[in-house]
Amino acid sequence: MGTDITVQPTERLHALDAVRAFALLLGILLHAAACFVEGVPIPLWPERPALVPTLLYWGIHVFRMSAFFLMAGFFGRLLLERRGTRAFTRDRALRIALPLVLALVVLPLFSGLAAVLGALPHGGIAYLEGLLPPSPLDIAPEGEAVAGRGLNLSIYWFLYYLLIFYALALAARALDRGGRIASGADRAVALVMAGPWAPALVALPVAVAFLLHDGWNQWLGLPAPIAFTPDPFAVAGYGVPFALGWFLHRQVALLFGIQRYWLGYLFAAGALAAVALGLIGVTPIWSGGPLEGVRLVAYALAYAMAMWFAVLGLVGAALRFLSRPSPAIRYLSDASYWLYLTHLIPLVFFVVLMKPYDWHWSVKLAVMLGGSLPLLLLSYRYLVRSSFLGAMLNGRRHPRAIRRDAVA
C-alpha cells in the first residue's frame, strides 16, 4: 500500500491555495483577451483581432483548468478526511452547488444591467441591440457554443463538473471498502510521480482521449462543456487531473517532490507549446481541426505534454517560492472565487462602453482589467468578505475590523 501521508487539519497549504487562485484569476485575463481573438463566437465580444491576445488566450487555455482540477481533487480529499463524509457533502452543497444555482439565476441579470449601463453613452437599448447578432448563441468565453438562448452552464460549468467528480469519488470510496483499488492507485501514482518523467506519463491518457474523440476541437484542446448533459470527453479530460490530485493527497510527499523540477518543467512546457502551436497555427479554429495522421498524433502529444509540464511546473514553482504565509496571497486566494464568479459583469460593461472607440487592443485590454479588478475587489471587501456570501464561498465570515496585534 502507498504511503498515506495526510495533511494535518491545522496546516494551511499556502502554495496550493495560490495555484488554485491563480487558475481562477487567469480566467479573468483569458475572458478579456477573448475579445481580440479572431472569430470569437460570443455576442458583444469581438473586437479587431490581435496576435498577442490570441497567444495569451491559447496559452492560458492549455493548462489553466487542468491546474484548477488538480488542486480541486487534492483539497477535496483533504476536506473529506478532515471532516467526514456527511460534513463534506454539506460543505460542497453550500460552497459549490448553491453558488452554481445563484450564478445561473442571478448573475446574468446583473450582466444584462451592465450591458445597458455601458450602452447609455452611445444611445442606450437601440445601440445595444445593434451590437447583437440576429440569433445570438449562448457561449462560454472558452468557445463552447450552444445554439439559442436556453439556459446553459456558461462559465460556471466547472462547478457542475466538480459536483460530478465529488459524487464519483464518494461512490468509488463507498465501493472500495477494503481499500484494494485505492492501494493499487497509490502504487500507480507513486510510479508515475517518482521522477522527472511525471508530466509526460500523465499526459499520455489525455493525448489518447484527444485522438479518440471524433469531435475534438484541436485548437482549443479541452472543452468548456456548458451543456447540462455531461460530456464524456470533458469528464475524462478533467477527471484525470482531479483524480491525480485526489490520490496525491494520499501521498503528499510525491506532490512536494516535484518542486525540484519546476524550472525544467516550465522550460519544457514552453518548448512543447511552441511545437503544438507550430503544428496547428495561430489562426483560431472554433470547431474540428485541419490536422490528420502523423501530424495529428504529434500535435495531441505535444499539446497534452505542454499542458502537464505547465501544470506541474506551476505547482512546483508555487511550492518552491510560495509556501510561507503571505497576507496578500491569502487575501487574493479568498477573494478569487468571488472575483471569478462575478467578473463578467464589469467586463460586459467595459466591452460595451468601449466598442465604438478605435483604440489599440492593449489600451482596451488595460481599461477592461484596470477597471474591472478594482470594482471586483471592492465588492469583495465590502459586500462579501464579512457577510453571509463570504461564509458561503470561503467557509467563514472574516471580521470587518482587523486587530492591531494581528497586523503587527
Give the residue extent of every domain in the chain: 14-380
Within 10 A of 402 (CB to CB), how many other CB atoms are there? 10
Q: Read off the amino acid at residue 252.
A: V
Q: Quickly list DSSP for 16-61.
A: HHHHHHHHHHHHHHHHHHGGGSTT---TT---S--HHHHHHHHHHH
Which pairing describes strands 138-139 and 145-146: parallel, antiparallel, or unpaired? antiparallel
> What's the pLDDT at 141?
55
Q: What is the mean pLDDT of residues 12-40?
A: 94
**DSSP 3-state assignment of 135?**
coil
Do 201 and 274 contact (CB within 8 A), yes or no? no
User: What is the rounded average pLDDT for all residues in the chain?
Assistant: 90
Q: Work out the pLDDT band at 4, boundaries 50, 70, 90.
A: very low
Q: Work out the pLDDT band at 142, boundaries 50, 70, 90.
A: low
> What's the pLDDT at 177?
84
In terms of pTM, does the model score above 0.85? yes
Question: Nine-digit cell at 186?
Answer: 497509490
Q: Read off the amino acid at residue 407.
A: V
- Please state the φ and ψ torsions of residue 251, each to the nearest 5 degrees: -140, 70
Question: Nine-digit cell at 353?
Answer: 462602453
> What's the pLDDT at 9?
40
Q: Work out the pLDDT band at 13, boundaries 50, 70, 90.
A: confident
H-helix or E-strand containing 138? Answer: strand 138-139
Q: Which residues contact 45 (CB under 8 A, 6 or more apart)?
A: 34, 35, 141, 351
Name the nearest CA neighbour of 32 among 327, 347, 281, 326. 347
